[in-house]
Amino acid sequence: MGKENEASSMDIDEKKPENSDHVNPKFTINVLQLLKSAQMQHGLRHGDYTRYRRYCSARLRRLYKSLKFTHGRGKYLRKAIVESTVTEVRFLHIVLYAAERAWSHAMEKRQLPNGPNARQRIYLIGRLRKAVKWAALFSQLCAVKGDSRTSLEAEAYASYMKGTLLFELDKNWDIALMNFKSARAVYEELGKYGDLENQVLCRERVEELEPSIRYCLHKIGESNIKTSELFDIGKMEGPALDLFKAKLEAVMDEARSQQAASMTEFNWLGHRFPISNAKTRVSILKAQELEKDLNAPAADSLPAEKKLVTFDKIFAAYDDARTSIRNDLATAGNAENVKDDLNGLDKAVSAVLGQRTIERNQLLVTIAKSKFSKNRDDKSEKATKPEGLVRLYDLLIQNATDLHDLVSSGRDRKTEEEAFAEECELKTSVFRAERCFYLAKSYSLAGKRTEGYALYCHARSLAHSTLQKLKSISNVDKELGRELETLYNDCRSNICIEHATGILEELKVPENLSKEVSSLSLNAPEKKLEKFLLEKLDLYESAVSDTSKKAVARIEPFPPPFLSVPRNPIVLDIAFNSIDFPSLENRMKKDKKGFISRLWR
């Protein structure tokens, strides 16, 4: 019943006026430019469909009110938009924003964290159907009331909405392909004319439609494209690609499930741990695919922000794997062999997660170092302080220590585990040397030369001892060795600089002191004391000095000076102790006693 009511409320009266003697005005709407501007300014730059849907609702409310086209105050009376109703361009805007509101609501449900459930998916498809109806009405009205360019853009918009609905329904791929191709052909033709901004927008829309067309061809079977190539296409950005990305993620999950069926064990440092849970396999496989993307040659050109996002996805995948492993441990019962395998797998996944955490923190250190080296030249970007690098190296030391403890916690360790533990110790030594270096930097910038000199010397000794350890190992990490050599040389140069700066400052102390002493004079004229504000209330003078100078405002002296206050004199009666006072016993009242009391005297 709900669907029927929705459908009845969306029925559009398509009757045309029978008698129209006057010439209908032709309206112009640059549909693509209007929608792109609204989407980028109201949430879709960051994929926030909720914000864009609210903007469309507010925009519709303003349009209805300004056109006095409301649907009644008390009882709802639907007013249909027909050709005779469209007397100005804002009526076309109502239909367009109604389609956008329905589409953005559907995409909002698609972007839920765990994906839409069955009920939400029914609602999503219903909203897409409503968007298609509004888009079809918009195309029909623009064909009559709009000029040729507006009519073409409206037709392309309606075709795109129809293709989107069929794309979500997973059926009629040939009809969806035909609609996407129709929209692409219109935008390709429109991109040849108009101003430069319009040409760029049309070209971007053609690029956004291309992945959907290739996916439809892939589903029909007319394309030899592979799933990995589809994944590369999904790295493109744009609101029109969000539904494609959601569909592509489902395809990638299916592909991972198929690959996970052949994945029976997890190899780590010479150990092989069997994997029986399908969820664990899929999570580990997803994390390994993301790791390949990070280690690929093309990853060097990726910005640091995208690498950090990839690291977050890797952490989420490994966390899911650990959760499923520990759930299996809880339900394993008394099977000791199964428990041993699951504990070993949990340890291996935790160790890999620790390695990726160290790599991510090292990336953060690289970003901070690049900002630290630019802080003298580039004033526009916020510079990194040495204290920030010290905190990052504290995290790295903790991560390396935890990883070493995890690897060395087993009883029967293999040679690969021992070598990995030694590598963790070396990394810890390197991080300590780097931390000491930047701690010395912070003391040096604070003007504490003695502490900075001592810390630079300690950092140099740590770097030297770590270099000697590296040379004694056969499989030496060359990049780590180069970093240590650079650190050693930087420590030596900074030691010399701190030493020379400290000597110069000590030599300048007597010189500065002699200058100050020579400027003293016994016959110097007294400084004219400026009056306070409360002493010159009859004069129009400011008591606040220039804002560029750091001077205290002379309003009233604080703390106030001591003032003499008159009071009664204190009398010291010294003669009181030398006076012999007469006896007063004869004047004291005597107690009367009875007969019985007299007997006892």
pLDDT at position 372 is: 79
Tokens 């560029």, located at residue: 548
Distance (Å, rounded) from C-alpha 320 to C-alpha 336? 24
DSSP state string for 452-505: HHHHHHHHHHHHHHHHHHHHTSSS--HHHHHHHHHHHHHHHHHHHHHHHHHHHH
| 4 Cβ contact list (under 8 Å, min separation 6) | none
Distance (Å, rounded) from C-alpha 337 to C-alpha 358? 32
| pLDDT tens column, 330-371 | 887 777 788 888 888 888 889 999 999 999 999 999 888 888
> 250 falls in which pLDDT band (50, 70, 90)?
low
Distance (Å, rounded) from C-alpha 55 to C-alpha 61? 10
pLDDT at position 380 is: 54
Which amino acid is residue 239, in one-letter code? Answer: P
| Res. 539: pLDDT tops 90 | no
> 507 falls in which pLDDT band (50, 70, 90)?
confident
pLDDT at position 520 is: 65
CB-neighbour burial class of residue 5 (10 A; exposed 0-12, middle 13-18, buried 19+): exposed
pLDDT at position 242 is: 55
| pLDDT tens column, 311-325 | 888 898 899 889 888
Count CA atoms within 13 Å of residue 589 on its CB side. Answer: 2
| pLDDT tens column, 3-48 | 444 444 344 344 444 444 445 568 888 888 899 999 999 988 888 8
Distance (Å, rounded) from C-alpha 53 to C-alpha 38? 11
| pLDDT tens column, 424-437 | 888 899 999 999 99
The CA–CA distances, whole Å, from 15 to 12, 81, 577 equal 9, 10, 126
Region 54-77: mean pLDDT is: 86
